Amino acid sequence: MAKVKAQTPAYGVSENAEWPDTKTFTVECECTSQDHAINTHIEIDADKEFDQLEVTHWVEMYTPAHNVSRWKVIWSLLWKGYHTEQHSIMLTRQAAKNWISAVDAAIDHLEEKK
């Protein structure tokens, strides 16, 4: 199988916004459902005490109102105070390579602005 190289523009990854210390991206799921997309913020020096990069993901999860698992979530929140879920995203090799390249480029770009 041929080695995959990052593309420009990047298939499966779109840059949404940029601030002096932050870039935002959307990573699209191969199934093409917007419900499965991951919205990501990459922020450099979020905490001034540490030389670090903060990556935050936003994912919306849905459960039908009549589904028993919704009541399990409510019960967990009421009695434990937290709820844990997992989210998976399907990426082609090309989209995964593009996502890695986008993160790498964002780090380089944000460090130049420091």
For the chain, the domains span: 13-112
How many other C-beta atoms can be found within 10 angstroms of the C-beta atom of residue 10? 19
pLDDT digits (tens, 9 = 90+) for 7-41: 776 788 888 888 888 888 888 888 877 778 888 88
Name the pTM for this structure: 0.66
Residue 78 or residue 63, greater confidence: 78
Taking 90 as the threshold, does the pLDDT of residue 78 lie above it? yes
Predicted confidence band of residue 105 (pLDDT cuts 50, 70, 90): confident
**DSSP annotation of 36:** G
pLDDT at position 46, please? 66
pLDDT digits (tens, 9 = 90+) for 37-74: 888 888 877 677 777 778 888 877 776 767 777 888 88
